[in-house]
Amino acid sequence: MQPTARSTGPARRRRRFRAAAEGVRRRPPTPPARRGDPELLALSAEPYADAAEAHDRLRALCTAFEVRGDRRAAFLSVYVRMTGAVAARIRRGAFEDPEWVHDYLVAFANLYRVAVHDYESGNVASLADPWLLAFDAAERGDSLVLQDTALGVNAHINYDLSLAVAAVGVDPDRATKRADHRAVTDVIRDVVDETQDALAARDAAGLRALDESFGPFDERFLVFTIDECRDSAWRTAVALRSRSRVRRRLARWTNAVTSTGAAHLIRSSRANDRLHESLRTLERTAGEER
């Protein structure tokens, strides 16, 4: 007897979760030795000193990716826009503790820079699994643009963000810092729609039609999802600053496992084959139009 649509849905989800769990248990295969691109290595070599430099050099790195047809540009184009928007809010004095937000923005950007540099230089032993999975998928080029973007968002928010917040500290005035941390989501809310438009214009024109068909629902869902991830990152950062060694170790383990599992789900997830192929068709059409 043929399985019904109702029975295959849960079965497909179980297979995806089992694949994600198996992926977490095993480190991704080490990619072949890389001959790093000199320009990409130079753009990612030196630490960012301040928010303005971080924004300018991230934008230069994104341009370099675009020139090479490097699919890492999908996520970075989104991140550059977000970084610029937060930096502008800092200059306008929109946060209660602008110096802390500035330091946190720079620390966050430097984590991305280091990930790119480690991957480009072949230093994958130092690279966190979520970034290795994201960069390998981008290099292979067999993911959807949405998947490449989501893999970057997952690695940078679900893995890096708690490390950045912990690095700059959550005390003193923890309540003020938490309020500023949450206020960054307001920046994301303001730019998410224009970010989708820019991504569609550059990588997948069909996304604009999908965006219009969903109306404001997809923007609200995206902001809600990022907000939840950012709340989780704050809690992990607090745990990473705990006096308890056990709590710190558990926080580091949880941060790595959950973000790696999410990366495997993003890479393997298909709502259904028809939808996946439809989105690939939209991307190919966009490429032909360019």
Element (H, E) at 205: none
Whether pLDDT at 114 is above 80: yes
Residue ranges of the alpha helices (H) in the chain?
A: 5-25, 38-45, 51-68, 73-91, 98-120, 129-140, 145-153, 161-168, 174-203, 206-214, 217-240, 245-268, 273-289
Per-residue pLDDT, averaged over 220-233, amounts to 70
User: Is residue 214 scored above 60 in pLDDT?
Assistant: no
Return d(Cα 55, Cα 70) in angstroms, integer. Answer: 19
Q: For residue 6, what pLDDT is reported?
A: 43
Confidence of residue 199 (pLDDT cuts 50, 70, 90): low
- Residue 201: which pLDDT band, with cuts at 50, 70 and 90? low
Residue 195 has pLDDT above 90, yes or no: no
Tokens at 39, concatenated? 């320009």
- 102 pLDDT above the threshold of 70: yes
Please say if the pLDDT value at position 286 is more than 50: no
- pLDDT at residue 144, rounded to an integer: 80
Mean pLDDT of all residues in 7-19: 48
Extract long-range pairs of 97-105: CB within 8 Å, 24+ residues apart.
Answer: 97/173, 97/176, 97/177, 97/180, 100/168, 100/177, 100/180, 101/180, 101/184, 102/50, 102/51, 103/168, 104/164, 104/165, 104/168, 104/181, 105/51, 105/54
Q: How many CA atoms lie within 13 A of 6 on its CB side?
A: 0
Nearest in space to 144 (alpha carbons), one of 267, 272, 287 = 267
- Write down the pLDDT at residue 238: 97
pLDDT digits (tens, 9 = 90+) for 27-82: 666 666 677 899 999 999 999 999 999 999 999 999 999 999 999 999 999 899 99
Cα Rg, the chain, nearest whole Å:
19
Taking a C-beta distance cutoff of 8 angstroms, is the pair 136, 31 a contact? yes
Please tell me the predicted confidence (pLDDT) of residue 233: 95
pLDDT at residue 12 is higher than 80: no
Mean pLDDT of 188-215: 57
Mean pLDDT of the chain: 81
Model's pTM, two decimal places?
0.81
